[in-house]
Amino acid sequence: MLILGFESTCDETAAAVVEDGRTVHSNVISSSVKEQALYGGVVPEIASRRHIEAVSAVAEKALAGAGLGIADIDAVAVSFAPGLIGAVLVGVNYAKGLAYAAGKPLVPVHHLRGHIAANYLTHPELKPPFLCLVASGGHSHIVAVQDWCRFNVLGRTVDDAAGEAFDKVARTLGLPYPGGPSIAQAAKSGDAKAYRLPVPRVEGKYNVSFSGLKTAVINEVHNAAQRGENINVPDMAASFQERIAQILAKKLLAAAADTGAKTVVLAGGVAANGRLRQLVNDGAQKLGARVYLPELKYCGDNAAMIAAQGYYEYLDGNTAGLALNGLPTLGIDYR
């Protein structure tokens, strides 16, 4: 089954053709991230305008790249929640129009379910049940993936998302947006033990919190400035990355140990972080669990992951009519 997927929940306009949830025939991404970087973060209005400009060309390129026409496609999948609503609506309306005009089923896909499905593109043997940490710019969840379309959230952030923490700390340190890659880069030449950053206390065994960590970095920067000193940016980047990666890995592995999970998976933009990948890999092996990490090119927002999850949503009977709306917030565990 060939699915044409669309993604437009943040600053990437993307379309992709994926067969049976596993085989990528094309994967096209047009990103406004360079323009957004001028403002230090995503400006929703700019994101929406770039989606409008790019979506038709991206769709055509995805079909052409797969050597297919719209008539060859079996269904159109679209990321309909959660996200910046003006951005989401561009993809949803385009997908609706295309599905209607071509007489194809329309499949709504939850963006975070898509991030998890990014793993199916690289690991043909991976299937639920498994335990997954989904960490992106907007969300940080520890999720028991019980079945393709059944999710149980065991833990979540009580304040900032992990990616958001990377982005805010990067800005504090004068590093460019997006913060995750720039902190990882700066950390390469830093000493992760240079700054002692706090381990946040949080209620709920598998919940995480990052706002205290972010504040601790801001305080260090201000205190240094008051002393007329400069913070050592690579050292702080390394110390912060180490702390946040330790927190995420520890919570995920604790949940894996407690639930007896045999398989542990990472997903979302933050899953690109090398230190996090290493800690989860090492820790899960100690537990005797298998580890699956998404390929770097599928960690960030893309439409192949939406088409992949779209396949399983379709098989589960989750299609939508033309009244489909975009939703800015919706839990991954909706049914």
Q: Which residues bind ligand KG4 (CB under 6 A)?
A: 10, 115, 136-138, 163-164, 166-167, 178-181, 184, 268-270, 272-273, 300-301
Identity of the residue, 164 or 242, whose beta carbon is nearer to ligand KG4 in the bound complex: 164
Shortest Å distance, C-beta 291 to ligand KG4: 17
Identity of the residue, 30 or 319, whose beta carbon is nearer to ligand KG4 in the bound complex: 30
State how far Cα 47 lies from the chain centre. Answer: 17
Identity of the residue, 234 or 268, whose beta carbon is nearer to Zn ion in the bound complex: 268
For tokens 């340190």, name the residue. 173
Paired residues of 13 in beta bridges: 30
For tokens 């990528």, name the residue. 24
Shortest Å distance, C-beta 69 to ligand KG4: 30
Shortest Å distance, C-beta 10 to ligand KG4: 5
Supply 47's token pair: 């994101």
166 binds, among ligand KG4, Zn ion, none (CB under 5 to 8 A by kind): ligand KG4
Integer angstrom CA distances of residue 126 from 19, 114, 263: 16, 15, 9
313 binds, among ligand KG4, Zn ion, none (CB under 5 to 8 A by kind): none
Question: d(Cα 183, Cα 167) in Å, to the nearest integer?
Answer: 9
Identity of the residue, 63 or 121, whose beta carbon is nearer to ligand KG4 in the bound complex: 121
Shortest Å distance, C-beta 111 to ligand KG4: 6
Q: What is the DSSP string of 109-121?
A: EEHHHHHHHHHHH
Question: d(Cα 315, Cα 111) in Å, to the nearest integer?
Answer: 18
Q: What amino acid is encoded at 47 in this protein?
A: A
Identity of the residue, 26 or 241, whose beta carbon is nearer to ligand KG4 in the bound complex: 241
Q: What amino acid is encoded at 304 in this protein?
A: A
208 binds, among Zn ion, ligand KG4, none (CB under 5 to 8 A by kind): none
Identity of the residue, 35 or 74, whose beta carbon is nearer to ligand KG4 in the bound complex: 35
180 binds, among ligand KG4, Zn ion, none (CB under 5 to 8 A by kind): ligand KG4
Shortest Å distance, C-beta 32 to ligand KG4: 13
Residues of this chain that interact with Zn ion (CB under 5 A) are: 136, 301
Identity of the residue, 266 or 291, whose beta carbon is nearer to ligand KG4 in the bound complex: 266
Q: What is the DSSP string of 120-167?
A: HHH-TT--SSEEEEEE-SS-EEEEEEEETTEEEEEEEBSSS-HHHHHH
Shortest Å distance, C-beta 294 to Zn ion: 11
Shortest Å distance, C-beta 212 to ligand KG4: 18
Q: Checking phi first, is residue 11 left (phi over 0); if not, alpha (psi -120 to 50) or beta?
A: alpha
Question: d(Cα 278, Cα 245) in Å, to the nearest integer?
Answer: 9
